[in-house]
Structure 1
Amino acid sequence: MQPPRLRRSLPCVCAFLWLSAAFATGAEIRVIYPEFEPDIDGKEVDWIYGDYLMKNDQISVTIAAPIATRDANLTIRGIGASILDLTLNHPSNDQLSAFIPTAGRYQFHDPSQVQIGRDGDAVFWQCRSSKSLAGDGTTAIVRYRLVDGNAFVETTVWIEGDTAETVKAFDGVRADRSFEMEQSGSVAYCSDAFFRQTIGFKSPIGTEPPQWKNGRPAELHYSDQHVQRGDAMTTWTVLLYPATSPIDLLAVAEGSHRSPAMHTFEVPLQIPGGDQQAAVRRAKISLRTKTESENTASTPFTLQTDDQGVAHARLVPGKYIVWYTAVGNTPFVQIIKSSDQPQTIRLGTSATSGFSATVTDGDGTPIPAKATVYAANGDPPDFGPDSTRTFVKNCVYAVHGQMHCPLDPGTYEIHFSRGPEYNSVTRQIQVGKETITELSVQLDRVVDTRGWVSTELHSHSSPSGDNTSDQYGRVENLLCEHLEFAPCTEHNRISSYAPHLQQMQLSHLMATCTGMELTGNPLPANHQNSFPLHHHPHTQNGGGPRVDPNPVVQIERLAMWDGGSDKLVQMNHPNLHQIYGDLDVDGTPDKGFRGMLKWMDVIEVHPLETIFQDVASKPPNVREMRIPLFQWMQLLNQGYRIPGVVNTDAHYNHHGSGWLRNWFASSTDDPAAISTDEMIRQAEAGHIVMSTGPFLSVVGTSKTGETQAIPGDDLAAEDGQVNVQVTVQCPNWLDVNRVAIFINGRRSEKHDYTRKNSPELFADSDSVVKFDSTITVQLDADAHLIVATIGEGMTMDKVMGEQYGKRPPIAVSNPIFVDVDGNGFQANGDELGLPLPKSPHEASSGK
């Protein structure tokens, strides 16, 4: 089978306009540009301007432009000529990351090799490869063909060259995390049951299905019956079917090329209340065919409804037994008869069991809140995967303070929370069959943080490419944990939380801005966040910079992006040993990536517990140095005044945000009035307290002047005496039992106070103010002072969940820099007992 020799079409835009206009009633192909954007829904949509859209009345397909710089996201790179988005038009729901012809063994980097046209009742897109990664002299041609009325796109690959007949026939599929790879009959498929998309792969020749091989991407291997070889050529064809589910797929792929009628199932689960209530109508619908003459049943298939209780499937005409299951509802069974015409089938329902709650603050105003539900006996309820929104595992995120939560009959303990400035309320309820327990919950804001706002500077969702979390769910998580400033920092893509906040009508509750995490190699040195950055929607990287293999070059590029505009550059989860002087982390000092330090505005230093550990006596392997807080204090002693921050780096939505945060000094306590510019200034000044929950206030004074110093400030103390006012506040679900001052990074034995050795300094465990004391510190020389507090032996597990709640309540301030001799603060050079990697010249010169 020879590849078609097609004439190159008209210049790009004109050609696509012509093809779409001339055949508007059938299949069409266009280039994507601002005046023509695809109407494709789904969590994994990745098209940008310059890509291509193929569409007919059944399905939509986007194809990545064949250029060297075309990346879908962090983990799907060099993706030219691959299918990025593939979905039915109704319902439109793209969950596929990519279909990669030849599984990336050939590069498609030359747009001049693109050919398009119409072949009878079909349109096609074709491209020749630029390079074989095997270096074997072969060339690949990929062709996509879409026929009017067909519910699949046909993909053909030709391999040409002297050794082409030896090339293995397989393609790649990126369908991540919640997808399962399966086979049925002659079809291989990947299926994400919860997010309601299945993609089928079928060869038009032979009866065997393609075979899956695990990997990233997963490989789809074709047998000899699927492949034609000869005349220095190997070729294979596979048909790609987007579907809602396996039963929907098989009705099409194992039947005729034309689609059976789409059937819409509605499960009208009872949800009282208004539109702003956190509630979902999630249900699993099971179907099996019923043969009238034999009265036997086949193996059931499952459909997952969306959050509105709606599911779709094309069905072969016949009788089906249908039943559904939903948390808090009695299973309901009925028999339906499908036909060759579209139908809407409304399934019967029972009354729901569970609870409804309204959560307010002390003034009676509804507030965003999280409910974490535990069963008294057995496993907690599972409302949905950790990548979804609103009802996530055993959590309910109610951004408007109202929720309707279905539960099966039983006894439950529910923890209502709103972040660490609010008390938590625990309710134990007995849920009866078909009954709803009404709850009114008041969460009092008991921690006084006036002059400070809570921030999260590093979190992710599906656009990052290394996770599949719903970005809307990330914003719900941030709001319900009372984060007041949170830039959007997806990997290698400028993105925005603003549309979600606007959809929720809650932009006034959380300040945000566009930003990104620029993520390259080597790890972990080459990860940096920055915000604000100008967002260019539907362009490569959202208009952001590309990575560079040299971390020094990359961080400078990021810092100078957008014409050198003012922005914050954050070093993420670093191995500072590597950066300071051991770039290959082999234990032998070298120049490192020390040039990065001058571009860093702040450094992530978690885990905070490191400050109370004896790191120097038992240092980790240099390749595994996850002790950035200790290394940060070493750098402070070398004169690098780079403030420390902590962030969750959340990738999934089940308690992902909120268990780690910063408090920034702020001129306003109103999130609606927070200025990104001010947040940058406060961060660069080090006006930061880092915490898993406790609110730590640190103010330094001296006799030299009347100025008060907060973390990050300089303080003159000519007599060496500094009065440090330390206050620790906690809500009722947190506590601390230790407060210590660190002088130049070393814990002061004199100023290490515990509830056991200094009980008079600590309040009762039920008090909000846990510690409130002025500590006099006497210094002989310049020093920086850091204050830390911890609840040793304590956890946050009921409110923050098992994974993150096992950590102790802890807070660490940024340093106050004390000048004793009047000539400005001078760092003391102390390496804290663990030598920094220095070149032979530095070591010999004493630098």
Structure 2
Amino acid sequence: MRIRLVLAVGALGLLAAASLQDPRPGRALDARLHHLGNDRTPEWTEAPADPEGQRLDIDFESRTHATDWMLYVRQRSIDNVWRIVVNGKEVARLVPGAELVERWYSLPAGSLRDGTNRVSFVPDTPTDDVVIGDVRLVERSAREVFDLQKLSIRVVDASDASPLPARVTLVGQGGTKPLLLFATPAATATRDGVLYLDGEATVELPRGTYACFATRGSEWSLASSAVTLGASPASLELALRREVDTAGFVACDTHLHTLQFSGHGDASALERQVTLAGEGVELAVATDHNHQTDYGIFQRELGLQRWYTPVVGNEVTTDIGHFNGFPFDPAMPRAPFRSRDIVTIVQGMRELGAQAVILNHPRWPSTTDSPFGHHHLDRLTGRFDPPLELPVDATEMINSTTEELDALALFRDWFALLNRGVRLFAVGSSDSHTVGEPVGQGRTWIPSSTDDPAAIDVSAACAAIREGRTSIGLGIFATALVDGRPAMGLTFDRSSDAAPFVFDLRVQAPGWIHPRKVTVFANGRAAATLELERTDGKALDRTLRVEVPLAARNDAWIVAVVEGEAIDTPAWPSLNKYTLAATNPMFIDRDGNGYTSPGSAASAFAPKTTDATVAARFAELDGAHSVQLAAAWLTTLRAQGVERGVALERLKRALGPKASEDAEIAELLARELR
């Protein structure tokens, strides 16, 4: 039975609405803050720790009104859909957000009647724990309450002055985010201080002076200007330039949500289309939770077809992890999201048509409470305990709405798996659920036979993800080139060449993002480090010649990672305090038999070796191969019944100086001794 909390407010008289500066405007319908839901929340000190019900109904006396009025509400922890229902009719939905905030909602003319009225706050998910209260009726319209004025904004391509989809950010005095209301035309999306538009829009906001910024993702410049709204409407034009050359690649976001079909966040399906165009995403994969969403329907409604290719995907959301798959037929059944077996889940996704499957945020919601955490991924050996099979094509190394304090933490996981022999590639995504979180902030650049964003070959893009022929970035674009051609995902035969492996690394960023450091990893070890000078206000386009020494017997994989400064503009808010880019691996074959990972080579050699032959092999191997062989040979000795202490002593003798000189091997031995 649904529990509900009902409050009655008597005929208190019709008070004049207070000014906006009054912290308690209008007439109180319910002055208390209420905890609704089903769990105790003692940390919310403003409301009772125990829930009082699962919805809130307030009865009050009022009168009819011929103009819009306002409802003032304080609220906390709105994650899912909460409807504001007045006299049985939905008039608004609570704006999502985690913190305790004040919100204003419009009551359309005629919502109230003479006599007794009821306003209800009704959840789609009754178990959702929230705080709602201090509900007040303000008998004035939004234009009166907030003293609004019109601002017309036009964003153009500096190369030809044509209108350009963009994100516009407005910042008031002290860094405040102004309310943006009554935006036109339909192809707009607004939140406090943020407007997405298809080239042109008019919006109303409180009179005052604002800093105005225009951006279009990480491939374009940033334009800014000040604007003052006074007694008359104002207009503003901002011009953007493409500053990053992505010819031959398209920008993809593999992880996108809507409130409409995921049930949380705040972006409607129509709003999501405007944000995609405004951030320059060219291949947009819809991945609502356990739902196959077709963005094409909404894209066509707004006339945004020429800006990107939509893909029907699904974030198959399970108790053991989240998996993005695409493309799907929206009419097909959903993948087996109730399964607790990854192989079954992924097989089901592929049977339904998925050509690419991605393991999302592998360390979310925390390092330990996550797919990699539950299976205790060993960053030395790449082994899982208990064992975990990963039949996916890629995993997220960049997810711009998941906090990762250490930019390289996930890379250490990935490098361990590559060394172990798990063929797994990197993708970057946003995982955006809201209008304010920039889609495409984390993105994957995919090779494409066309630069027309409306005509991208989805099957070819999926093949590129499966084969690792992509690069990823959060603000920075990096590509590895051999003989002038992209080299990510390719294997190079160097069996007859003892010289270092040479490639070019091209690093690009717009003038408002600052890459500073390049690290080139070979089999997970830093093989080269280069510093990049700061280019204040100027776009960076630098090609670096990189030489990686190769050991005689060691096949290798090579990944370049670029780290940059935190984004220092309010125009493109970022959760993590760094910018980043990475290539997918290049594979180096040293023996002419194709690339073999350190772990696979060790597993093949360890069962048939002796103390003398393994010692000779250790002398020839690099650090990563030595770690894998040490772990594999120790496993072999234990399987043969050799006592643990004896096995460790034999391993230390075979390793020779590496037992103490190589930090990772020393750590492996120390761990085995504990």
Same fold by TM-score greater than 0.5: yes
Which residue number in structure 1 is paired with residue 505 of structure 2? Answer: 726
Q: Would you say 1:741 and 2:539 are equivalent positions?
A: no
Q: Displacement of 1:834 after TM fit?
A: 9.5
Which has more radius of gyration? 1
Q: Would you say 1:484 and 2:261 are equivalent positions?
A: no
Unaligned 5+ segments in structure 2 are: 11-32, 42-52, 70-85, 87-102, 117-136, 600-622, 640-650, 652-667, 669-674
Q: Residues 375 and 386 of structure 2 are in contact (CA less than 8 Å); yes or no, is this contact kept in structure 1?
A: yes
1:542-691 paired onto structure 2 within 5 Å: 543-562=333-352, 565-575=353-363, 583=375, 592=386, 594-595=388-389, 597=390, 599-606=391-398, 627-691=409-473
**Structure 2 SS opposite 1:492:** coil
Cα 1:639–1:492 change in 2 (3 A) is same
Q: Displacement of 1:380 after TM fit?
A: 2.3
Letter matched to residue 488 of structure 2? P
Q: Would you say 1:531 and 2:326 are equivalent positions?
A: yes
1:191-590 paired onto structure 2 within 5 Å: 214-216=36-38, 250=60, 265=67, 304-305=105-106, 310-316=108-114, 323-326=139-142, 329-331=143-145, 353-361=149-157, 362-377=159-174, 379-383=176-180, 390-398=189-197, 400-431=198-229, 433-462=230-259, 463-522=261-320, 526-536=321-331, 543-562=333-352, 565-575=353-363, 583=375
Higher relative contact order (CA 8 A, sep 6+): 2
Letter matched to residue 401 of structure 1? G
Cα 1:614–1:747 change in 2 (3 A) is farther
Q: Displacement of 1:594 after TM fit?
A: 2.0
Which residue number in structure 2 is paired with residue 791 of structure 1? Answer: 564
1:382-437: per-residue Cα shift (whole Å, max 9, x none)? 3379xx97111210010x21122333332211110111111010112233x22222
The whole-number CA distance in structure 2 between the counterparts of 1:668 and 1:358 is: 29
Cα 1:729–1:251 change in 2 (3 A) is same
**Structure 2 SS opposite 1:650:** coil
Q: Residues 598 and 624 of structure 2 are in contact (CA less than 8 Å); yes or no, is this contact kept in structure 1?
A: no
Which residue number in structure 2 is paired with residue 345 of structure 1? Answer: none
* Percent of aligned pairs with the same amino acid: 23
**Structure 1 SS opposite 2:581:** strand
The whole-number CA distance in structure 1 between the counterparts of 2:493 and 2:386 is: 35
**Structure 2 SS opposite 1:737:** strand
Cα 1:473–1:172 change in 2 (3 A) is farther
Which residue number in structure 1 is paired with residue 491 of structure 2? Answer: 714
The whole-number CA distance in structure 2 between the counterparts of 1:827 and 1:506 is: 45
Q: Residues 398 and 474 of structure 2 are in contact (CA less than 8 Å); yes or no, is this contact kept in structure 1?
A: no
The whole-number CA distance in structure 1 between the counterparts of 2:312 and 2:290 is: 12
1:184-195 paired onto structure 2 within 5 Å: 184-185=8-9
Pick which of 368-377 and 461-470 moved more. Answer: 461-470
The whole-number CA distance in structure 1 between the counterparts of 2:374 and 2:480 is: 35
Q: Displacement of 1:837 after TM fit?
A: 10
Which residue number in structure 2 is paired with residue 769 of structure 1? Answer: 540
The whole-number CA distance in structure 1 between the counterparts of 2:113 and 2:479 is: 64
Q: Displacement of 1:438 after TM fit?
A: 1.8
Cα 1:821–1:838 change in 2 (3 A) is closer
Letter matched to residue 570 of structure 1? I
**Structure 1 SS opposite 2:285:** coil
The whole-number CA distance in structure 1 between the counterparts of 2:338 and 2:624 is: 31
Letter matched to residue 655 of structure 1? E
Cα 1:323–1:630 change in 2 (3 A) is same
**Structure 1 SS opposite 2:572:** helix
- The runs of at least 4 consecutive aligned structure 1 residues that moved more than 4 Å come to 216-219, 249-252, 329-332, 575-582, 584-587, 607-615, 830-843
Letter matched to residue 699 of structure 1? L
1:260-285: per-residue Cα shift (whole Å, max 9, x none)? 9x866469xxxxxxxxxxxxxxxxx9
The whole-number CA distance in structure 1 between the counterparts of 2:514 and 2:192 is: 27
Letter matched to residue 765 of structure 1? D
TM-score (norm 1): 0.54
The whole-number CA distance in structure 2 between the counterparts of 1:449 and 1:590 is: 38
**Structure 2 SS opposite 1:517:** strand
1:782-821 paired onto structure 2 within 5 Å: 782-792=555-565, 794-801=566-573, 803-804=574-575, 807-821=577-591
Letter matched to residue 346 of structure 2? E
| Higher fraction of helix | 2
The whole-number CA distance in structure 1 between the counterparts of 2:568 and 2:475 is: 9
Cα 1:553–1:406 change in 2 (3 A) is same
TM-score (norm 2): 0.67
1:739-761: per-residue Cα shift (whole Å, max 9, x none)? 2211111112xx21114xxxxxx
Q: Displacement of 1:610 after TM fit?
A: 11
The count of residues paired between Structure 1 and Structure 2 equals 514
The whole-number CA distance in structure 2 between the counterparts of 1:478 and 1:311 is: 34
The whole-number CA distance in structure 1 between the counterparts of 2:434 and 2:351 is: 29
Q: Residues 610 and 629 of structure 1 are in contact (CA less than 8 Å); yes or no, is this contact kept in structure 2?
A: no
Q: Displacement of 1:440 after TM fit?
A: 1.7
The whole-number CA distance in structure 1 between the counterparts of 2:104 and 2:149 is: 22
User: For the aligned residues, what is the CA RMSD?
Assistant: 4.2
Letter matched to residue 7 of structure 2? Q
Q: Residues 447 and 470 of structure 2 are in contact (CA less than 8 Å); yes or no, is this contact kept in structure 1?
A: yes
1:731-787: per-residue Cα shift (whole Å, max 9, x none)? 121121212211111112xx21114xxxxxx57434323422222323123211111
Cα 1:791–1:554 change in 2 (3 A) is same
